[in-house]
Amino acid sequence: MVDLDTSDNDQPLLVAESLSKSFGRIAACRDVSFSLYPGEVLAIVGESGSGKSTLLQMLSGQLAPSAGHVSYRMRDGVTRDLATLGEAERRFLFRTDWGFVHQDPAQGLRMAVSAGANVGERLMAVGWNHYGRIRDTASDWLTRVEIDTARIDDAPRTYSGGMRQRLQIARNLVTEPRLVFMDEPTGGLDVSVQARLLDLLRSLVAELNLAVIIVTHDLAVARLLSHRVMVMKGGRVIETGLTDQVLDDPREPYTQLLVSSILPP
Amino acid sequence: MNAPAYNFAYLDEQTKRMIRRAILKAIAIPGYQVPFASREMPMPYGWGTGGVQVTAAILGPQDVLKVIDQGSDDTTNAISIRKFFAKTAGVATTTATDEATVIQTRHRIPETALHANQVLVYQVPIPEPLRFLEPRETETRRMHALAEYGLMHVKLYEDIARFGHIATAYAYPVKVNARYVMDPSPTPKFDNPKMDNCPALQLFGAGREKRIYAIPPYTQVVSLDFEDHPFEPYRFNAPCALCGAENSYLDEIVTDDKGGRMFVCSDTDYCEGRQAAGHHGSLSAAPYKEKAGSHG
């Protein structure tokens, strides 16, 4: 059993091979390759317009690459090219084995239905048909993301920004995905709320052995959460390595500029 | 024909062929919403333009037409549509469910069990069961195509979370032939079980939304629910005040401004048939006396 687990962890979960995307004459993303292993947190950092979000969309199958492939090891152990998946399979993957945390919670939540239903939606989508069990699971997850379960029947539009973001995380994690994409999950939150959210994310990631690809321009987020960092500029990956190595000893001039532009505390 | 200015049953033959093609496709894919080129009809949207077009397309000279509105044969909508076809098609009309071959309905299924060789035509305002959950039509179509119906249960979940039971009382979503989730038009959920395995053909026409869908005879129709909150038809807990029926769907009628009310069958034909057969309710003997009393 243990042997099987380690051999599983030895194989990459997601592999990107020379991914490129151009919009007309603009090359948004050029020749990006990497492997992501189970339980690994990869941060993609860079300034606005560096191609981070385009890359994330290609990795999560929402945007077809102009060149290159993304392959993913499915739950049955078979590695498949995302481009060969049918739409039904891709959407199923998206709401079971993957999560996607948007910067704006309104994009990832149904603002008009209750928090419980928001968390329960993925369960109902995979065929859960017992109200009591769905509700118990939902309230369990609200507790895990530190939302008062008394608010389970309130719609997220009555929630604060930080609560909405935590609810979005609960909604994504309820089907126990193995890979979560995050697009600036702490953007737009004030610093104390950010700190709490990061703390929560870090413990959930460790607890669930989640693989995470997190796009951020905030190097502090990358430092706190990620094991590895990819620095992007002008659509290219210019530097990659272990987080502390890249952030404490940046090699590229651009990375040095990024790191040095953080205000000292 | 009484009105030679019109083609038989108002619509021209090409239009009827177009609608029949949509109907055939709808029958072939039970519960699937088939788009069709809905025409302007000489009545406003919301008055049954979809149902009228379907009826016009399937009506033949030998057909006997019945039209009901909320179960009743004698409300404005029912009378005007019945007259419309009597005038433009010259077909025989009836109020008896048994005698009719085509029954156009708004919001009810007759109490008398339907038989083979009958067609029930529903007037549908909003054909898309997911409309108020997912506003994008492109997305709902994809959800139908991929049979992603988790969202439908979100609505039922919300009902239970808010009211303690599934409070949806009409337009209660059903799954047809174990594939498509369908809006049964705003019929009370009391009528949902009648759709299951029904010997008659059921056609649904939405004029404004330009959609036709169908349930072929003897097709499985299941009302969605949760294991621990099963589907339950709703009915006022009273017998009909006119015919004493214990198992029919009831209308609540306010009789005075002192809280007086009576419950009567919403299906007028069924109620009259029972009264003619000698059944009585608590108020059936003295309608005039009561009127004098309540105003005095």
Domain harbouring B37, CATH code: 3.40.50.11310
Q: Do B148 and B42 reside in the same domain of the chain?
A: yes
Q: Do B218 and B262 reside in the same domain of the chain?
A: no
Q: Do B154 and B276 reside in the same domain of the chain?
A: no
**pTM (predicted TM-score):** 0.85
Q: Please write the tens of the pLDDT for every residue from B50-108.
A: 999 999 999 999 999 999 999 999 999 999 999 999 999 999 999 999 999 999 999 99
Flag whether B237 is in a domain: no
Looking at beta carbons, which residues of chain A come within 8 Å of B228? 130-132
The CATH T-level fold of domain A1-97+177-265 is: Rossmann fold (3.40.50)
Flag whether B31 is in a domain: yes
Q: Please write the tens of the pLDDT for every residue from B214-244.
A: 999 999 999 999 999 999 998 889 999 999 9
Q: Report yes or no: B230 at the A interface, CB cutoff 8 Å.
A: no
Q: Report yes or no: B229 at the A interface, CB cutoff 8 Å.
A: yes
Q: How far apart are CA B151 and CA B136, in angstroms?
A: 13
Distance from CA of B166 to the nearest CA of A (A): 11
Looking at beta carbons, which residues of chain A come within 8 Å of B154? 110, 113, 117, 120-121, 124
Q: Report yes or no: B231 at the A interface, CB cutoff 8 Å.
A: no
Flag whether B93 is in a domain: yes
Catalytic residue positions of B, numbered: 31, 240, 243, 265, 271
Domain of residue B181: give its range: 13-223
If one counts the domains in chain B, the total is 2
Helices (H), A83-176: 87-96, 105-108, 115-125, 131-144, 161-173
Q: Report yes or no: B157 at the A interface, CB cutoff 8 Å.
A: yes
Last residue of a domain, one of B223, B258, B286: B223
Q: How far apart are CA A188 and CA A208, in angstroms?
A: 26
Q: What is the pLDDT along chain A (265 residues), one digit of tens a residue?
A: 344 454 567 889 999 999 999 999 989 999 999 999 999 999 999 888 889 989 999 999 999 999 999 999 998 889 999 999 988 899 999 989 999 999 999 999 999 899 999 999 999 999 899 999 999 999 999 999 999 999 999 999 999 999 999 999 999 999 999 999 999 998 878 888 888 889 999 999 999 999 999 998 888 889 999 999 999 999 999 999 999 999 999 999 999 988 888 776 6
Cross-chain Cβ contact B157/A120 below 8 Å: yes
Q: Do B172 and B264 reside in the same domain of the chain?
A: no
Flag whether B211 is in a domain: yes
Distance from CA of A246 to the nearest CA of B (A): 42
Residue of B nearest to A112 (CA): B133
